[in-house]
């Protein structure tokens, strides 16, 4: 049996900002030092991001439309974790539903066909949660198997894919709905540090849903299948990236050492996963690399000697959406799949046999998986 990737769909909340508008919002805040304020325009301009999305209108800069922050440019009193999580409970189910509905439709399934649902998120909590919301609003079975993967960060879609693969390999009837949803913009912090300024400059909101099914060879032939996943925890790197719950939201720590540390371990990581399937890097036809930031893609491209074509999709998703945490890799995979389908429709011969997807998160950890056309 093969774990076939049937469809991917994406969704974003309604408030779309240019990166220059996001920078202007930061510059209007009144609690930043001249030193940090001076750095903001270049940090935002050099991020590789043109647009980002938010579930709230506040970042548009109109004090009269603020719904999370108080209507003053000190943004005080600072919104509590409770108030931010209330916004999450309101808005996360909405975009999760949009993505899930579209994924089911694109897979040419009906809601009643879905046997398992996996929810991935690290930017909020509620119970009953998004899984219950989707069951009720999609019309899924009330006896459906449910799994929640929480608080794992940017690489968590891979943990979801791995769980879906395990389900499909153990259940020949499995049709799994995987939904990743993050509202990173709810956890914007006004902290007078360079680290926080960079964090504020790159994260965004989005959701993505994928359908994975268990198929015999006759039904899977010619389709893209999840073949294998591989995880690596890098020793003694816990302090380089963290995501903790504070009184004023979820607080992120992000070291500038992250790209160097991750990229330093990638060659051996890739060798381990590819050796298991008798492949080399030259056998890979596509790469889906999580754009934690522009620099990590650039360093990975340099160290692994990848062509511009191999990293173009990661750069493009970063440019159009920013870093949405866990859904981002599914946005990239959707773009790759859509381009492949367009080439097939135009009768263009395109190699699409083996592909790798990668992301990086707290730990530090590297998560990835191998896709192969059956």
Mean pLDDT of 222-238: 95
Exactly one of 122, 154, 180, 184 is catalytic; which is it? Answer: 154
**Cα–Cα distance for residue pair 115/44, rounded to 1 Å:** 43
346 pLDDT higher than 90: no
- Is the domain covering 224-373 a CATH 3.40.47.10 domain? yes
Mean pLDDT of 184-207: 95
Residue 349 has a pLDDT of 60
pLDDT digits (tens, 9 = 90+) for 62-77: 999 999 999 999 999 9
Torsion, CA 166, CA 171, CA 173, CA 175, rounded to 10: -20
Give the three-state DSSP class for 209: strand
The conformation of residue 173, written as its DSSP 8-state character, comes to T
Domain ranges of the chain: 224-373
Average pLDDT over the chain, rounded to an integer: 96
282 pLDDT higher than 80: yes
pLDDT digits (tens, 9 = 90+) for 134-180: 999 999 999 999 999 999 999 999 999 999 999 999 999 999 999 99
Residue 351 has a pLDDT of 81
Burial (Cβ within 10 Å: 0-12, 13-18, ≥19) of residue 170: exposed
Other CB atoms within 10 A of residue 42 CB: 10
122 included as an active-site residue: no
List, in order, residues 6 or more apart from 373 with CB less than 8 Å away: 222, 223, 224, 225, 352, 353, 354
H-helix or E-strand spanning residue 318: helix 308-321
pLDDT digits (tens, 9 = 90+) for 101-137: 999 999 999 999 999 999 999 999 999 999 999 999 9
The conformation of residue 29, written as its DSSP 8-state character, comes to -
Residue 119 has a pLDDT of 98
Mean pLDDT of 191-201: 93
């Amino acid at each position: 049996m093969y774990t076939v990737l049937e469809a991917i769909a994406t969704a974003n909340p309604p408030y779309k900002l240019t990166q220059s508008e996001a920078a202007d919002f930061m510059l209007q805040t009144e609690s930043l030092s001249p030193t940090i304020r001076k750095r903001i325009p270049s940090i935002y301009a050099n991020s590789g991001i043109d647009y980002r999305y938010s579930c709230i209108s506040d970042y548009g800069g109109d004090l009269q439309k603020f719904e999370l922050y108080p209507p003053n440019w000190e943004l005080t009193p600072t919104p509590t974790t409770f108030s931010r999580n209330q916004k999450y409970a309101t808005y996360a189910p909405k975009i999760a539903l949009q993505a899930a509905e579209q994924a089911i439709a694109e897979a040419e399934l009906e809601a009643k066909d879905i046997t398992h649902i996996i929810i991935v998120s690290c930017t909020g909590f509620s119970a009953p949660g998004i899984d219950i919301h989707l069951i009720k609003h999609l019309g899924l079975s009330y006896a459906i198997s449910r799994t929640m993967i929480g608080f794992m960060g940017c690489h968590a879609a891979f943990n979801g894919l791995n769980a879906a693969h395990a389900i499909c390999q153990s259940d020949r009837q499995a049709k799994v709905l995987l939904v990743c949803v993050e509202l990173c913009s709810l956890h914007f912090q006004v902290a007078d540090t360079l680290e926080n300024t960079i964090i504020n400059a790159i994260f965004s909101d989005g959701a993505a849903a994928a359908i994975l099914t268990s198929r015999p060879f006759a039904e899977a032939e010619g389709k893209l299948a999840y073949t294998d996943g591989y995880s690596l925890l890098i020793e003694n790197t816990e302090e380089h990236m963290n995501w903790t719950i504070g009184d004023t939201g979820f607080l992120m720590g992000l070291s500038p050492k992250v790209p160097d540390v991750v990229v330093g371990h990638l060659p051996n990581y890739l060798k381990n996963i590819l050796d298991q399937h008798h492949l080399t890097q030259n056998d890979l036809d596509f790469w889906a690399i999580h754009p934690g930031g522009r620099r990590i893609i650039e360093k990975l491209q340099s160290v692994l000697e990848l062509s511009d074509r191999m990293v173009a999709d990661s750069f493009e998703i970063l440019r159009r959406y920013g870093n949405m945490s866990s859904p981002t890799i599914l946005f990239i995979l959707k773009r790759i799949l859509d381009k492949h389908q367009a080439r097939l429709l135009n009768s263009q011969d395109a190699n699409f046999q083996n592909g790798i997807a990668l992301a990086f998160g707290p730990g530090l950890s590297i998560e990835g998986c191998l896709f192969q056309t059956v």
